[in-house]
Chain A
Amino acid sequence: MNTFTKIQSNGIPLPQNNIDTDQIIPARYLKVTDKASVAEGLFADWRFHSDGSIKEGFVFNQTEYADSKILLAGDNFGCGSSREHAPWAITGWGIKAVISTSFADIFKNNALKNNLLPITVDEETHQCLFDLVEESPTAEIEIDLESQSVKLPGDISFTFEIDPFAKKCLLTGKDQLEYILSFEEQIDKFEKGCQAIIIN
């Protein structure tokens, strides 16, 4: 797994609340058995008309955001299904962080396992970020995970919270399964002492 480094980029604004996993990656793109091809379906129904032509007005189709690494989204981002295809599609597109006021639990878990940093901010900061991006779409946002801080033009900055274990995993590329398996002895012991599970 790669390690997470500093991000500098402008932000893609998607101000809607409750952007669900069916928007992030519609179900018909879930038929793959690999991860690599998933990004093709990212926001597919917002990027394309029914006849396959491009929806010009949608931010993901605009050139100034082509290389953006930061997505700025409305409340409760990633609600809906548990499909890890959602963070695969987002990271496959090149995005490395999503900023919102809140995230759905499973999406957040999935994101952190895929080198995608979900940053939760308060409403005021959220609004200030949207104002900034609206005023100057190319404004650079700098995210430093190590110091848990975000810097904006004009010497504005704020810090964010992150679970210390998740942070360590992102920064060191620590493999979570290896971590679990390092407790093999305890798992064995647990299974021996456990009478609750009886599956005939």
Chain B
Amino acid sequence: MNPANNSPSTLFEKVWDQHIVAEEANAPSILYIDLHLIHEVTSPQAFDGLRRRGIKVRRPKQVMATMDHSTPTTPGATIMEMKDAQGQAQLIQLVKNCKDYGINLYQLGSPHNGIVHVVAPERGFTQPGMTIVCGDSHTSTHGAFGALAFGIGTSEVEHVLASQCLLQKKPKTMEVRIDGELSNGLTAKDIILALISKIGTGGGTGHVIEYTGSLIESLSMEERMTICNMSIEGGARAGMIAPDETTYQYLAGREHTPKGTSWDAALEHWKTLPTDPDASYDSQFKLDVDDLAPMITFGTNPGMGLKINGQVPDPAQISEPEERKTLEKSLDYMGLRPGTKILDHPVDVVFLGSCTNSRISDLRQAAKVLKGRKVAKNIRMLVVPGSQEIKRQAEAEGLDNIFKDAGAEWREAGCSMCLAMNGDQLEPGQYAVSTSNRNFEGRQGKGGRTLLASPLTAAAAAVTGKVTDVRTLL
């Protein structure tokens, strides 16, 4: 039950209601934000705003900062030695802003530096029932813990820094139910790509998705993060999964989680969060995974996904003119012919990384495929762990050697080629199988062509040099 109004409620409604500070007629709600994550790209103008207004950061302890988007991933890189002057200026600005306002920053070179959506959960900042925002759309990742987490713009970053609050209209709720189990060669990434290919990139617009069902319950926290991470690619504001034993086990003992009696109290609270049996959603969708296969995208938005053994669709078969034009333009950009198989399409680059798939379990999966094999001659493979902590863990397990022996590049943590801001980028015309989350035109480098897939599928492409069904290699 929702203590706020004593009626059956969804996970989202509980978290939402518990964070309303004030509400006026004809105005959005004032929503309290528990945790604010910041990085170098979307925060500088917000701090400028604070300075202009002469306002302090209201709760610096509830802000966590990292640098990830424009940081170099070459071993031993430092801010001072960066070649990219603009990127460097942005990092220096973040250091200054965090120092001036007393914010905890994991800067380049810190043992805890890494991608914001990887670092916050692994340090224990991300907790069930919280409201979490970041000037970054993949903030939806943190919903895996049963938090309400979503991306905001820079004006809103300023609002939250100044007031710890946000003006928000209550979104609608959508249940995405997924029952069943994952068979060999399939991953959480295949599930979320399959979902987005069904609902489209605008399918979740205006909604917060809650993922339910036996398959979701069987997933690890890292797999749940992969799913929630890409909720935004289906247009949803946020994705959430009810906290359970898997969640509590992940959280226990992490640096910033509550300890002792505070832990007991938190646990008691967290256990009240899951959706009540009689609660209802504004809309519902059931994803059938019985005939799921490894997924890969062929186009220029994440909704353009296919089963690995499927065929590139034909625009001639689409009646709606704008949709047809969009697909034509997309295939033209991708250099793919309608009706052809995506399987065996040659690949130039394999990117294993990003806040979607750069965690230790992702690296382990890819390493399993690469072990004892070589990266094909035509392939450049980059392996970019999501955080320094993951990098150390992987090195302790010897995964780095598996990657290096195979001929892949073992890099420092960061966003890297996910958005190609730091110099890690595709050349025009190159094809990349990438474990990241966006295949937009030029996303991984001007003219570059991205095929989104799971770490397993990426590793398979690295080995064969072409799009491959990983199940033939397992």
A residues lining the B interface (CB < 8 Å): 15-18, 20, 22-23, 26-28, 30-35, 45, 50, 74-76, 79-84, 87, 102, 104-106, 109-110, 113-114, 163-165, 176-177, 179-181, 183-184, 186-187, 190-191, 194-200
Separation in Å of the B353 CB from the closest CB of chain A?
15
Q: B326 touches which one: A17, A33, A102 (CB < 8 A)? A: A17
In angstroms, Cα B56 to Cα A184, docked, is 14
In angstroms, Cα B149 to Cα A82, docked, is 13
A-B contact pairs, 21 of them (CB 8 A): A16-B322, A22-B440, A22-B441, A31-B86, A33-B90, A33-B93, A34-B48, A35-B45, A50-B428, A80-B137, A105-B171, A105-B235, A113-B153, A183-B21, A187-B163, A196-B18, A196-B34, A197-B34, A197-B62, A198-B266, A199-B256
Separation in Å of the B391 CB from the closest CB of chain A?
23
Q: Are A33 and B438 CB-contacts (below 8 A) given A16-B325, A50-B428, A198-B266?
A: no
Q: B153 touches which one: A26, A106, A200 (CB < 8 A)? A: A106
Is B41 in contact with chain A by the CB < 8 A criterion? yes
Q: Are A176 and B441 CB-contacts (below 8 A) given A84-B153, A105-B205, A106-B152?
A: no
Check A200 against B325 for contact (C-beta < 8 Å).
Answer: no
Separation in Å of the A84 CB from the closest CB of chain B?
4
Interface string of B222-247 (1 = CB under 8 A from A): 00000000000001010000000000
Is B472 in contact with chain A by the CB < 8 A criterion? no
Check B301 against A82 for contact (C-beta < 8 Å).
Answer: no
Is B8 in contact with chain A by the CB < 8 A criterion? no
Check B158 against A82 for contact (C-beta < 8 Å).
Answer: no
In angstroms, Cα B70 to Cα A198, docked, is 31
Q: B442 touches which one: A26, A75, A179, A183 (CB < 8 A)? A: A26
Q: B163 touches which one: A32, A33, A180 (CB < 8 A)? A: A180
In angstroms, Cα B237 to Cα A109, docked, is 12
Q: A186 touches which one: B22, B27, B69, B438 (CB < 8 A)? A: B22
Check A82 against B165 for contact (C-beta < 8 Å).
Answer: no
Task: Name which residue of chain A comes closest to B303, CB basis.
Answer: A18
Q: Are A75 and B202 CB-contacts (below 8 A) given A50-B447, A177-B162, A200-B124?
A: yes
Check B32 against A187 for contact (C-beta < 8 Å).
Answer: yes
Q: Are A83 and B41 CB-contacts (below 8 A) given A15-B325, A31-B70, A106-B137?
A: yes
Q: Within residues 99 to 134 of chain B, which ones have a CB less than 8 A from any CB in chain A?
A: 124-125, 127, 129-130
Separation in Å of the B57 CB from the closest CB of chain A?
13
Q: Are A163 and B202 CB-contacts (below 8 A) given A31-B86, A186-B21?
A: no
Separation in Å of the B18 CB from the closest CB of chain A?
7
B residues lining the A interface (CB < 8 Å): 18, 21-22, 26-28, 30, 32, 34-35, 41-42, 44-45, 48-49, 53, 59, 61-62, 69-70, 84, 86-87, 89-90, 93, 124-125, 127, 129-130, 135-137, 139, 151-156, 158-159, 162-167, 169, 171, 201-202, 205-206, 235, 237, 255-259, 262, 265-266, 269, 301, 303, 322-323, 325-326, 329, 419-421, 428, 438, 440-443, 446-447
In angstroms, Cα B169 to Cα A17, docked, is 26
Q: A32 touches which one: B86, B127, B255, B257 (CB < 8 A)? A: B86
Check A18 against B442 for contact (C-beta < 8 Å).
Answer: no
In angstroms, Cα B430 to Cα A50, docked, is 14
Separation in Å of the B228 CB from the closest CB of chain A?
16
Q: Are A45 and B442 CB-contacts (below 8 A) given A31-B86, A81-B137, A199-B256?
A: yes
Separation in Å of the A124 CB from the closest CB of chain B?
13
Check A27 against B421 for contact (C-beta < 8 Å).
Answer: yes
In angstroms, Cα B329 to Cα A15, docked, is 11
Q: Are A82 and B89 CB-contacts (below 8 A) given A195-B265, A199-B125, A199-B256?
A: no
Q: Are A18 and B89 CB-contacts (below 8 A) given A80-B440, A176-B167, A180-B30?
A: no
Check A82 against B153 for contact (C-beta < 8 Å).
Answer: yes
* A contact residues around B42 at 8 Å (CB): 82-84
Task: Name which residue of chain B comes closest to A31, CB basis.
Answer: B86
Q: B159 touches which one: A35, A164, A177 (CB < 8 A)? A: A177
* A contact residues around B136 at 8 Å (CB): 81-82
Check A50 against B155 for contact (C-beta < 8 Å).
Answer: no
Check B30 against A84 for contact (C-beta < 8 Å).
Answer: no
Pairs A-B, 5 closest by C-beta atoms: A82-B151, A110-B153, A84-B153, A31-B86, A33-B44
Check B301 against A18 for contact (C-beta < 8 Å).
Answer: yes
Check B62 against A76 for contact (C-beta < 8 Å).
Answer: no
Task: Name which residue of chain A comes closest to B89, CB basis.
Answer: A33
In angstroms, Cα B64 to Cα A197, docked, is 14
In angstroms, Cα B166 to Cα A177, docked, is 9
In angstroms, Cα B130 to Cα A190, docked, is 14
In angstroms, Cα B447 to Cα A186, docked, is 51
* A contact residues around B155 at 8 Å (CB): 84, 110, 113-114, 176
A30, A33, A80, A181, most chain B CB atoms within 10 A:
A33
In angstroms, Cα B41 to Cα A33, docked, is 8
* A contact residues around B129 at 8 Å (CB): 196
Check A74 against B259 for contact (C-beta < 8 Å).
Answer: no
Separation in Å of the B101 CB from the closest CB of chain A?
16
* B contact residues around A35 at 8 Å (CB): 45
In angstroms, Cα B143 to Cα A37, docked, is 34
In angstroms, Cα B48 to Cα A6, docked, is 30
In angstroms, Cα B301 to Cα A74, docked, is 14
